[in-house]
Structure 1
Amino acid sequence: MEISAAGRLEVSITPADVGKRVSVRRLSEPGTAREKFTDTVGVLTSWDGGVLMITRRDGQSVRIAESALVAGKVVPAAPARRRGPAASYEELARVASHGWRPLETERLGEWELRAARGFTRRANSVLPLGDPGLPLDAALAAVRRWYGERGLPAYVQTATGAEGTQELLCAELERRGWVREVTAEVWTAALAPVADRAEGTGVTLSRRPDETWLARYQRKGVSEVALRVLCAGPSVWFATVPGGEGEPPAAIGRCVVDGRWAGFAAVEVDPGRRRQGLATEVMAALARRALDEGASAAWLQVETENDSARALYTALGFTPHHTYHHYRAPNEAPTDHPATADSDE
């Protein structure tokens, strides 16, 4: 907190600091016998009518009355990273988009409109990396028209929690009634330690998913469109650990190699075979192949409530980089494709 020369806490932020990362302290129970202090760190997204709005790393917005502030200051745009490969948000966003390609794209300024007939939000949402070339209301109207022409609800994919992320856009979407449906995180790690976990226990790799692989992935509603998305990317590999005779695989996974990055997805294990190290084996085998192709860094996406996956990825050396969200246009029904609720988004 900011402390004056006299030793008192002071508020050194103003409405001119909107868009900057700040740290504030406020009275959470003003006027009571047991007043409490609460600290909030995030991006100051507005300061209107005596109320501040701060968007935290996880995308949650906090309303704070100006009268409750006891201290506040601008802090560095993003905390220093202690582990994992250095990477900007924009670099990771582009790599993630390359690894989950839609069937159709169109540019709106620096925004990329993506569509794949409703298979996953990631392939059917706007990736807004820069200026759309129009005022925001006009850009959002154009987005809604584009998706409406394809019989799809309009989604915008945004991110929070790292340098260059889109807290201000999130706040503007929320003001306009856009509905946040999904929050997940992008984690990164050095690739070699993941590959070192391989023990050579029966993981097979292929360039396309066969019927047995798809049998384990089938709950996501595999269709011809889904196959085209799954198989698209700079260098795509599918991993399989065989199951029992006539049974789906015990475990599967997918990896896309794109330059220095290896992106992991669709890591699934038969519920009856969990806690046997199979997910680690799948990821390690894919990581070794990615190393052979020149990759050195790894990324993946994990839902915020998937505790078992988060524990696995932590053990493999992954750490959170940023949080991402999907906002749906107001008064539009969400797409009903079963894949939109899974970890592949």
Structure 2
Amino acid sequence: MEFTTGGRLTVRITPADVGKRVSVRRLTGSMDGMEKFTDTVGVLTSWDDNVVLITRRTGETVRIAESSLVAGKVVPAAPARRRGPAASFGELARVAARAWQPVEREALGDWELRASGGFTRRANSVLPLGEPGMALDEALRRVRRWYGLRSLPAYIQTATGAEGTQELLCTELEARGWRREVTAELRVGALAPLVDGGPDTDAAPVRLGRSFDEGWLRRYQRFDEPGPHVLEVLGGGPSVWFASVDGDGGVPAAIGRCVVDGRWAGFMAVEVDPDRRRQGLASAVMRALAARALEEGASAAWLQVESDNEAAGALYDGMGFATHHRYHHFRPA
């Protein structure tokens, strides 16, 4: 990483650059007479009281004392991914939202308040794709009141790590006592290789349908009691397909859900019986759903996986999925 100008390190950023992607170097100490430096790249989200805040693509906020800066400059937006279909953050955020349609929604400027009886944060959080049409503090008061009336915690879903994401909003929320509870990755990949890359015969026959049964829900196990709100969220979307592999006792050995939306096919709810893992069932489910999505004209795939789910991450790495951006759910402390 090069900072020199005429042989000198130079700090060429100011508070006026808040909101831009920057690269900085800071002095972090010395050892054996040698100075030690650390480089940080991310969005400059705050510069107040002699403290600089930089938000990395992972959503992590780095606090840097202004006095420790030895170099800094504005850098271009993060380079485009080398794998997977091209897409903007806004396009993917809206596609993902349509795959988890809430039971109830209300607009607050360009923010969408979503509620579904508490089933999945993705359908019970604010999607802030723009400005709320009022001061942030007033918007947050309205958000907390709206969810409070429904006896639900107030969550705001934000994103980091791509052009047009919401690093500034993340910092504003943290400054007001909101805390990040969950971080996940939205990954994208080409659809056809999911079908072509598997073996000639699947690990087990996969049944596809437009609906799900009690056994499918028992394998999903993401709720205490599947009330009407759960059924409505799972069944909602532009073109929804459910997959299952027969198991014991009427409970499938593996399940999956796919929502086809124009050129995109979203994969979710891929679950496998713990006793049947490493038998290729998850791959078989995704392959069958991908084949159906191709028949409907889709060409690109997306999915969401929590950042600490290493097993799922490794599976999707092998399928060619690359991280497009990360999203976070913030909740008042």
Comparing 97-106 and 214-223, the one that deviates more: 214-223
- 1:17-96 equivalences in 2 (<5 Å): 17-29=17-29, 33-96=33-96
What SS does the aligned partner of 2:19 have?
coil
Using the TM superposition, give the Cα deviation of residue 262 of structure 1 relative to its aligned residue in structure 2, in angstroms.
0.5
Aligned partners of 1:32, 1:115: CA distance in 2, in Å? 58
Aligned partners of 2:131, 2:317: CA distance in 1, in Å? 35
Partner of 1:262: 265
Q: In the alignment, residue 241 of structure 1 is paired with which amino acid?
A: V
1:147 counterpart = 2:147: yes
Q: Which runs of 5+ in 2 are unaligned?
A: none
Partner of 1:242: 246
Partner of 2:329: 326
- 1:105-116 equivalences in 2 (<5 Å): 105-116=105-116
Using the TM superposition, give the Cα deviation of residue 153 of structure 1 relative to its aligned residue in structure 2, in angstroms.
1.6
Aligned partners of 1:259, 1:274: CA distance in 2, in Å? 32
1:230 counterpart = 2:238: no
* Aligned 8 A contact 2:119 2:223 in 1: no
Residues 151 and 219 (structure 1), Cα distance of their counterparts in 2 relative to 1, 3 Å cut: closer
* Aligned 8 A contact 1:30 1:68 in 2: no
- 1:1-345 equivalences in 2 (<5 Å): 1-29=1-29, 33-198=33-198, 199-200=201-202, 201-221=204-224, 222-244=226-248, 246-330=249-333
* Aligned 8 A contact 2:219 2:255 in 1: yes
Using the TM superposition, give the Cα deviation of residue 13 of structure 1 relative to its aligned residue in structure 2, in angstroms.
1.1
Q: Deviations over 1:55-83 (max 9, x none)?
A: 01111100011111121111112222101
Q: Deviations over 1:193-243 (max 9, x none)?
A: 012245344000011111221121135333221111001100110100111
* Aligned 8 A contact 2:10 2:72 in 1: yes
Aligned partners of 1:153, 1:220: CA distance in 2, in Å? 16
Using the TM superposition, give the Cα deviation of residue 96 of structure 1 relative to its aligned residue in structure 2, in angstroms.
0.6
Aligned partners of 1:147, 1:211: CA distance in 2, in Å? 30
* Aligned 8 A contact 2:113 2:127 in 1: yes
Aligned partners of 2:98, 2:195: CA distance in 1, in Å? 22
Partner of 1:342: none
Aligned partners of 1:62, 1:97: CA distance in 2, in Å? 29
Aligned partners of 1:190, 1:40: CA distance in 2, in Å? 32
Aligned partners of 2:48, 2:95: CA distance in 1, in Å? 37
Using the TM superposition, give the Cα deviation of residue 2 of structure 1 relative to its aligned residue in structure 2, in angstroms.
4.7
* Aligned 8 A contact 1:9 1:71 in 2: yes
Q: Deviations over 1:76-128 (max 9, x none)?
A: 12222101000111111101110001001111111101011111111111000
* Aligned 8 A contact 1:111 1:128 in 2: yes
* Aligned 8 A contact 1:115 1:124 in 2: yes
**Which structure features the higher share of strand residues?**
2
What SS does the aligned partner of 1:180 have?
strand
Aligned partners of 1:283, 1:97: CA distance in 2, in Å? 20
Comparing 146-155 and 157-166, the one that deviates more: 146-155
Query: What is the aligned residue count?
Result: 329
* Aligned 8 A contact 1:191 1:296 in 2: yes
Residues 172 and 211 (structure 1), Cα distance of their counterparts in 2 relative to 1, 3 Å cut: same
Aligned partners of 2:191, 2:84: CA distance in 1, in Å? 9
Comparing 171-180 and 5-14, the one that deviates more: 5-14
What SS does the aligned partner of 2:35 have?
coil
Aligned partners of 1:174, 1:34: CA distance in 2, in Å? 36
Q: In the alignment, residue 89 of structure 2 is paired with which amino acid?
A: Y
Aligned partners of 1:224, 1:32: CA distance in 2, in Å? 66
Normalised to the residue count of structure 2, the TM-score between the two structures is 0.95
Aligned partners of 1:131, 1:236: CA distance in 2, in Å? 31
Normalised to the residue count of structure 1, the TM-score between the two structures is 0.92
Using the TM superposition, give the Cα deviation of residue 5 of structure 1 relative to its aligned residue in structure 2, in angstroms.
4.0
Aligned partners of 1:61, 1:3: CA distance in 2, in Å? 22
Aligned partners of 2:233, 2:269: CA distance in 1, in Å? 13
Q: In the alignment, residue 292 of structure 2 is paired with which amino acid?
A: R
Partner of 1:337: none
Aligned partners of 2:39, 2:28: CA distance in 1, in Å? 9
* Aligned 8 A contact 2:246 2:252 in 1: yes
Q: Percent of aligned pairs with the same residue?
A: 70
Aligned partners of 2:168, 2:5: CA distance in 1, in Å? 33
Q: In the alignment, residue 23 of structure 2 is paired with which amino acid?
A: S
Q: In the alignment, residue 236 of structure 1 is paired with which amino acid?
A: V
Q: Which runs of 5+ in 1 are unaligned?
A: 331-345
Residues 52 and 30 (structure 1), Cα distance of their counterparts in 2 relative to 1, 3 Å cut: farther
